[in-house]
Structure 1
Amino acid sequence: MTAHNGVGDSAHTEMSNADRSQRGGTSRHASVEPYLTGCAWPPGQGAVYPRADPRDFSRLPIDTWGTATVPVGVRLEFSGAARAVQIAYRTKTADLGYRGDGAGTFFAAYQGEKFISYADAMLGDGMAVLDLAEADESLPVTVYLPEGMKPEIVSLRATQGELLPAPKQPRWICYGDSIAEGWSASEPALSWPAIAGRVHGLDVVNLGYAGAARGEIVSAEQIAALDPPAVISVNHGTNCWTRIPHSATMMMAGMDAFLRVVREGHPGVPIVVCSPVLRPDAEETRNKLGATLEDLREAIEDVVVSRRERGDRDLYLVRGGGVLRAEHLADGIHPGDEGHRIMARAFGDPIAERVTRE
């Protein structure tokens, strides 16, 4: 593919004060914007690529907003012919928390399921150079960020060629908990939403909130206020078992209310609910309110079936209980790489089947 009017050797410009956003003192280079995907909200409240609405952050639980400041799933996508791409960036932290290196310590280029190249990231200002010699010029390239380091992309520059923003893909809003966020995949590109997004050509907006995502109505309202996506998925429940215990009755009422709010904002948009995958220590263990994870899973599934029976034919259920086995869980709770690959098929395939494509 011969590219034109894109980012080339002569198109590299530095960030100026005039480029800085007025929201929260964050900044985003104007020339980078067309290449960024996975972003649903503008910068604000100190987050360059927030995964919740920064104008409404004060109504969210603090754990939800905290993880929403990590740019999970935000990536660069481009087409064109270039020998390499130079990515100027700055990172805010080297503290990767529970995820460790799996939170991302390098930039990685992929085309579909094919890995192309990577470049290590450093704390502070840096330049990552990704070799694109093995890339297929006829296909878009996706570059995953060292998201755990909270990077900001300052500029892009092609080497021996030019880059174009990749064609826009149908948008997928993926709401969930730490498993949707990518725990414990070995790198951001190997989370199940990332894999499914690449395989099916979807612009996944990852709203996986680790330790949070309990079906808060604020999150439902924020999703409902977005421009209509091609598909929405909902995959939470584990944190309703123990972190903030729910009874089965609470789970049913909360899920019904969450879906009602999202549906009011997006009539006709397919919504796929994926009930929780296996968690051995929770399946038959009762929480403080007497519910096992099996009880909560059944409550979620009953709500979806009931809402379909009441007329929401754009609502779909994927039962998660039998998707994974204990050996697929890296720490007894979160899937490892093989588990994420399995989920990308078990959850990602039916989500992609429901996509509204123009």
Structure 2
Amino acid sequence: MIDVPLTDLAALVRGADRTETTARGLRPHRLPAWVDRQLGDPQLAAMEAQPSGVRLAFSTTATAVEVVLHPTRLAYRQVERPRGAVDLVVDGVVLASVPLTGGDAVETDLATGASALLAGAPQTVAFPGLPAGEKAVEVWLPHNESVEVVALRADAPVRPAADDRPVWVHHGSSISQGSNAATPSGTWPALAARLGGVDLRNLGLGGSALVDPATARVIRDAPADLVSVALGINVVNLDGMRRRTFEAAVHGFLDTIRDGHPDTPLVLVTPIFCGIHEGTPGPGAFDVAELAAGRVRFVATGGDDLSNGRPTLRVVRDALAAVVGRRSDDPHLHLLDGLSLYGAADAEEHPLPDGLHPDPATHRLIGERFAAQVFAAGGPFARSGTARV
């Protein structure tokens, strides 16, 4: 096996903003370092270090590839949570997925809030039996655990893969990051990107789609042929704004994106259906009874007080429609109703297992519907890639 020098490894990382050199290897980050310095939010820092949509992309004739990773996962002492995975995609087709078993855990006791680091060993993920001949290989890193890439090996030389696909930058909440998806290539944005034939940069940030000006500046400065933004659920979860301030913040967010991408197709996505928050404001919280039983489920704690424009998902959808209506001078701005991706009827057939996040089958449903509405003929991203929808 041929070891790829660490100095060459960073050139293979796609879908990240940067890589950090650590004592073990390279840690991909999805946001620039200045965002953490400016906001200092531990939740945002933890989420941006989880490499949803990030992959090692290269061309090779190799038939065997190995990647050595040192993951760090967030764990709860009372609750068993599914581990992340590493996926192999060859010439656009998902060929394998390997669950993570190694690495460290930052374990939090939800009863006390105390955390402890549980150290573990690196993990070697092997992908033997690749097809013969020249091919484009992508090793998709986990969407829900941060990782340090310690080594990459192959039985033939590798080189950065040429990629002329349009770049799609998408920002959203944990739903966009991929919470409850089983694999990194199975998150709804990853599925939609494959169907749309585009190069994904996923800025889905769990708990952190809060209309932050810093995130808008990141999107403004990012290379992008297509941009979509899904806003609302985290604002409701946090009970962080009122309708007046939310609408103004969204206008400012879109203005900032337009400073860097004045004519780029831009899709504003309203929230998917979430029964706990349709008519009930946040804050959102863990269901204590479910935690006691070893399960994670979320509840809305805002009661029936809807005074002063307190946001529910219905309020947020109406506000986003109003924002787009007032920006009718922007012919490249489009509104996508999240209920067309996952609505009340879908919740009967595909209930959200924790009350907030889609399961793997529902990620696929949302990804397919997004691709059909946005990438297919007549959609705002039509003819932008090699769409297969």
TM-score normalised by length of structure 2? 0.75
Q: Which has the higher strand share?
A: 2
1:154 aligns with 2:139: no
1:232: how far off? 1.0
SS in structure 2 at match of 1:48:
strand
Change over 3 Å in CA distance of 1:13–1:79 after alignment to 2: closer
What is the CA distance between 1:217 and its match in structure 2?
A: 1.1
Q: In terms of mean alpha carbon deviation, does 229-238 or 113-122 score higher?
A: 113-122
Provide closer, same or farther for how the CA distance between residues 130 and 225 of structure 1 changes in structure 2, counting only shifts above 3 A.
Answer: same
Does the 8 Å contact 1:36/1:75 carry over to 2? yes
1:60 touches 1:219 (CA, 8 Å); kept in 2?
no
Q: 2:35 maps to what in 1?
A: 56
Residues 44 and 50, structure 1, Cα contact 8 Å, conserved in 2: no
Name the residue aligned to 1:230.
Answer: 225
Aligned partner of 2:204 in structure 1 is 208
Pick from 10, 31, 56: which aligns with 2:8?
A: 31
Post-superposition CA distance 1:91-150 (Å, at most 9, x none): 3x2434689325x1x3221347743123444223332211243x4756533222234442
* Partner deviation per Cα, 1:215-267 (whole Å, 9 max, x = no partner): 111211222122x3111110020111131332222221111111011111221
Residue 3 of structure 2 corresponds to: 12
Aligned match for 1:256, one of 235, 244, 251:
251
Decide which of 76, 86, 99 is 2:66's aligned counterpart. 86
Aligned to 1:313: 331
Change in Cα spacing, 1:344 to 1:216, as seen in structure 2 (3 Å) is same
Contact in 2 for aligned 1:89/1:154 (Cα 8 Å) = yes
Query: Could you tell me which residue of structure 2 aligns to residue 6 of structure 1?
Result: none
Distance 1:54 1:351, change over 3 A: farther
CA apart distance, 1:30? 2.0
Contact 1:276 1:321 in 2 (8 A): yes
Q: Corresponding residue for 2:277? A: 282
Residues 31 and 155 of structure 1 are in contact (CA less than 8 Å); yes or no, is this contact kept in structure 2? no
C-alpha spacing 1:333/1:82, structure 2 compared with 1 (3 Å): same
Q: 1:177 to 1:149 in 2, by over 3 A?
A: closer
- Deviation of 1:55 after TM superposition, in Å, equals 2.2
Q: Does residue 213 of structure 2 align to residue 217 of structure 1?
A: yes
Query: Is the Cα contact below 8 Å between 1:192 and 1:348 reproduced in 2?
Result: no
Q: CA shift at 1:275, angstroms?
A: 0.8
Residue 64 of structure 2 aligns to which amino acid in structure 1?
A
Aligned to 2:106: none
Secondary structure at the aligned position of 2:88 is classed as strand
SS at match of 1:333: coil
Are residues 107 and 291 of structure 1, via their aligned partners in 2, closer, same or farther at CA, if it must alter by over 3 Å? Answer: closer
Task: Report the 3-state secondary structure (helix = DSSP H, G, I; strand = E; otherwise coil) of the residue aligned with 1:183.
Answer: coil
RMSD: 2.8
TM-fit CA distance, 1:350 = 4.3
Distance 1:85 1:317 in 2: 42
Distance 1:99 1:257, change over 3 A: farther
Q: 3-state SS of the aligned residue for 1:211?
A: coil
Which of 160, 163, 171 is the matching residue for 1:165? Answer: 160
Deviations 1:169-196 (CA, angstroms, capped at 9, x unpaired): 3221111001001011122221001112
What is residue 130 of structure 1 aligned with on the other side?
127
The Cα shift of 1:162 comes to 4.0
Tell whether 2:95 aligns with 1:116: yes
- Per the alignment, residue 101 of structure 1 pairs with 82
Distance 1:61 1:333 in 2: 26
Name stretches of at least 5 consecutive residues in structure 2 with no aligned partner: 104-120, 282-301
Report if the CA contact (8 A) 2:86-2:184 is conserved: no
Paired with 2:254 and 2:22, the residues of 1 have a C-alpha distance of 28
Alpha-carbon deviation of 1:297? 1.0
Q: Distance in 2 between matches of 1:291 and 1:330?
A: 23
The CA distance in 1 between the partners of 2:4 and 2:259, in whole Å, is: 43
Q: CA deviation at 1:36?
A: 1.4
Task: Please tell me whether the aligned partners of residues 99 and 183 of structure 1 are also in contact (alpha carbons under 8 angstroms).
Answer: no
Residue 299 of structure 2 corresponds to none
The Cα of 1:285 is off from its aligned counterpart by 2.0
The letter of the residue matching 2:160 is P
**For 1:321-346, what per-residue CA distance to the aligned partner results, in whole angstroms no more than 9, with x for missing partners?**
23212133222211111211121122
- Give the residue type in structure 2 aligned to 1:165: P
* Distance across 2 between alignment mates of 1:212 and 1:184: 17
| Bigger mean CA deviation after superposition, 338-347 or 233-242 | 338-347
Q: Which amino acid aligns with 1:265?
A: G
Q: 1:42 to 1:115 in 2, by over 3 A?
A: closer
Change (3 A) 1:61 1:335: farther
Contact 1:71 1:147 in 2 (8 A): yes
Name the CA distance, whole Å, in 2 between partners of 1:213 and 1:70. Answer: 15
